[in-house]
Amino acid sequence: MSSLAQRVVLITGASSGIGEHLARELARRGAKVGLLARREDRLETLARALRDDGAAAGWAEADVTDGPGLAAALDGLEAELGPADVVVANAGFGRPEAPGAFKPGRAAGIYDVNLLGALHTIDWALPRFLERRAGHLVGVASVAAFFGFPDHAAYCGSKAALRVHLQSLRLSLRRHGIAVTTICPGFVESELTAKNRFPMPFLWPTDRAARKIADAIAHRRGEVVFPWQMRCALGLLTRLPTGLAEALAGRLPGG
Name every residue whose Cβ is closer than 8 Å to that of residue 227 and which is 6 or more positions away in sequence. 186, 202, 204
Q: Which amino acid is at 117?
A: G
d(CA 24, CA 14): 10
Residue 3 dihedral angles phi and psi, to the nearest 5°: -70, -10
Residue by residue, DSSP assigns 42-84 as: HHHHHHHHHHHTT--EEEEE--TT-HHHHHHHHHHHHHHH-S-
Provide the β-strand partners of residue 179. Answer: 136
Task: State the first-to-last Cα distance of the chain, in angstroms, to the nearest integer.
Answer: 45
Q: How are beta strands 57-61 and 178-185 bridged, if at all?
A: unpaired
Strands (DSSP E) contained in 94-167 are: 135-140
Question: CA-to-CA distance for 253 and 190, rounded, in angstroms?
Answer: 19
Of 124, 129, 146, 155, which residue is the catalytic one?
Answer: 155
Query: How big is the chain, counted in residues?
Result: 255
Q: Can you tell me the distance from the alpha carbon of 252 to that of 147, in angstroms, rounded to the nearest whole number?
A: 12
- Is 155 one of the annotated active-site residues of the chain? yes
Point out the residues that are catalytic: 155
